[in-house]
Amino acid sequence: MSGKTILVWFRNDLRIHDNEMLLEATKKATTIVPVYCVDPRHFTEAPYGTQKTGNFRAKFILESLEDLKVSLQKLGGDLLILKGIPEEILPELCKKYEVNEVYHHREVAAEETEVSSNVEDALWKMQINLKHFIGHTMHHKEDLPFPIKDIPDVFTKFRKKVEREAEIRPSFETPTQINIPANFEKSEVPTLQDLGLTEPEVDKRSVLQFKGGETEGLKRLNYYLWESEALKTYKKTRNGLLGADYSSKLSPWLAAGCLSPREIYWEVKRYEKERGANDSTYWLIFELLWRDYFRFMFKKHGTRYFMEDGIKGKENELAPNQKELFEQWKNGVTGVPFVDANMQELKHTGFMSNRGRQNVASYLVNDLKVNWTWGAAYFEEMLIDYSPASNWGNWAYIAGVGNDPRDERYFNIEKQAAEYDPHGAYVKLWSENNS
């Protein structure tokens, strides 16, 4: 294989552990060209009047790129970070570095798959192959007990069959050396200002100061399982609202691909072996299975998840003044303390608990009668842990146009507040005058 050069195109897979495309490239090529494209289309306005990427997530991604660059440099490599659209940048780099093949991880949502397809077309003209890898799910799609088109639209049926019949592959080893071309160009991680964004203010009330990168993700995984043993009580505490450890908080690192879901699975299995299995250890894997499920559903249903009538083709009732109501909801000034507190947390930190997300989504759709896709788009802008399948899949579920077998997924906000914030500590923390 002397003289082969492979371009490794990073996207939402910003890690060196359990990264099949990176490992394979180091084995198959003499030199590799690791590249990340900062796509300006990710920093534009969405059709809903929201931004596609807000400053919290952008900051997290830039930190993750910095960390990946350092990790690759330690192995003798580097990461080339260029601003521009992949279908234009990658063919140029292939010429410059005389690339024989390009590797990347397959995505499932419409915009991401369209970019892959545009890149594939551009490379095809140059007779260069774009090789697809699967690395975003705990289960490999080839190991599912059914083809994608036959996956049940009800999660419970999917879960039972998968738990019974599917196995999870071992993680891939981490490369020990990376060789880049002698003429590899230098590049810097862009700043938020370069992307037209501002530095988000750090809010001392944030459940966790999330910092991007594989190093931080692995540190959090180690802390949650081994140091604090918070995993042991995860099922009891996961609906919490206050503090760093009521849930694993691994989702931002999972979304950017700084952590591999398979790596988490095997680490939980090791924990069970060494410190004992219980409902909570199972529940973390159960949540990862939900994440897998939405990705496979996106593969099955394509763009239906971005349509107002969803996969069920069901129309929701809408308020005549929904624009005004949407603004109140976004800014956490609806007058419903539990909803407003959660929306304030999101606005100031880029994060919200799972319990909070379900409540504010139900309130927007069922009480305010606002188009659910606006809410999903606002979450896309604001959340540090945004990932298309989980975000739009969950919103469609709550809006009754997705995978929920029940027609109405209504949350009684007062009852929820009484149950999950009985002393009002969370609402007090996030009331506006406390900022």
C-alpha–C-alpha distance, residues 136 and 388, integer Å: 12
273: tokens are: 């072996």
CATH code for the part of the protein at 1-135: 3.40.50.620
234 has binding-site annotation: yes
Structure tokens at 4: 């082969």
Does 206 carry a binding-site annotation? no
CA distance 302 to 61: 26
The full length of the chain comes to: 435
Paired tokens of 84:
């521009």
Annotation-wise, does 228 bind a ligand? no
Kindly report the average pLDDT of the chain as a whole number: 94
Is 1.25.40.80 the CATH number for 136-169+213-301? yes
- Note the pTM of the prediction, 2 decimals: 0.96
User: Does residue 387 have a known ligand-binding role?
Assistant: no
Contact 333, 367 (CB under 8 A): no
* Conformation bin of residue 137: beta by default, left when phi > 0, alpha when psi is -120 to 50: beta
Residue 353 annotated as binding site: no
pLDDT tens across 111-131, in order? Answer: 899 999 999 999 999 999 999
**Residue-wise pLDDT tens digits, 140-190:** 999 999 999 999 999 999 999 999 999 999 999 999 999 999 999 999 999
Query: Is 28 marked as a binding-site residue?
Result: no
Which helix (H) or strand (E) element contains residue 83? strand 80-83
Does pLDDT of 432 surpass 70?
A: no
Domain ranges of the chain: 1-135, 136-169+213-301, 307-429
Domain at 307-429, CATH from 3.30.565.10, 3.30.1280.10, 1.10.579.10, 3.40.50.1220: 1.10.579.10
